[in-house]
Amino acid sequence: MMTRHASTLPVLGFAAASGTGKTTLLTQLLPLLNQAGLRVGLIKHSHHDFEIDHAGKDSFRLRKAGATPVVLVSKYRRAMIEEFYHQTEPKLAAQVALFSTEQVDLILVEGFRHEAFDKIELHRPCLGQAPLYPHDKQIIAIASDEVLNVPTALPLLNLNQPADIAKFILQRYLTS
């Protein structure tokens, strides 16, 4: 694929209530998209405080001593740990800008559902949650585990057929 600027990389989110299966679907989609030759980055928003390094590790000690950001790097991978002192919700555009456009063809997003960018809504009627699409014009398709009577032109995808969802993604974003 050609090199693109971060702002022109395709970004696609997956929006749904907690427990709908966003992470499960993503773990099924990623190998399919990789097999199609795509280098896929992922941004996952968390509402929880988290640690990726742990007490006793050098990176943890250095961060606690005041270094920010801390970059932990080996020949296998890199992690950057940065403290946010103004505890406001992060913006998706700032996270997308961190990606190397020479390493990523597509960015998938779990979370940030209240921001304006393309999303596939995952909907399981058995959970009793109202659909998101009537209030979010950025939803481009609905994936459900049941046939839905949706009064819209949105494509309906089978949540239990990740290969079909991958095909939809490839056709929508990567066909030139």
Give me the amino acid identity at 46: S
The residue to which tokens 């304006």 are assigned: 116
CATH number where 133 lies: 3.40.50.300
Structure confidence by residue, pLDDT tens digits, 139-169: 999 999 998 888 778 999 999 999 999 999 9
CA–CA separation, 82 vs 152, rounded Å? 42
pLDDT at 3: 39
Q: Which token pair is 14?
A: 């997956």
Per the structure, the complete domain to which residue 77 belongs is given by 51-88
Find the range with the poorest average confidence among 31-35, 41-45, 100-104, 169-173: 100-104
Mean pLDDT of the chain: 86
Q: How confident is the model at residue 45 (pLDDT cuts 50, 70, 90)?
A: confident
Q: Are residues 69 and 98 in the same domain?
A: no
- Number of independent structural domains in the chain: 2
Q: Are residues 15 and 77 in the same domain?
A: no
Has residue 1 been placed in a domain?
A: no
User: What global pTM score does this model have?
Assistant: 0.85
Residue 40 vs residue 103, higher pLDDT: 40
Structure confidence by residue, pLDDT tens digits, 87-116: 788 889 988 988 877 889 999 999 898 899
Label each residue of 137-161 as H, E or C.
Answer: CCEEEEEECCCCCCCCCCCEEECCC
Distances, alpha carbon 23 to alpha carbons 17, 47, 75, 159, 160, in Å: 12, 15, 27, 12, 13
SS3 content of the chain, % helix, strand, coil (to 5): 25, 20, 50
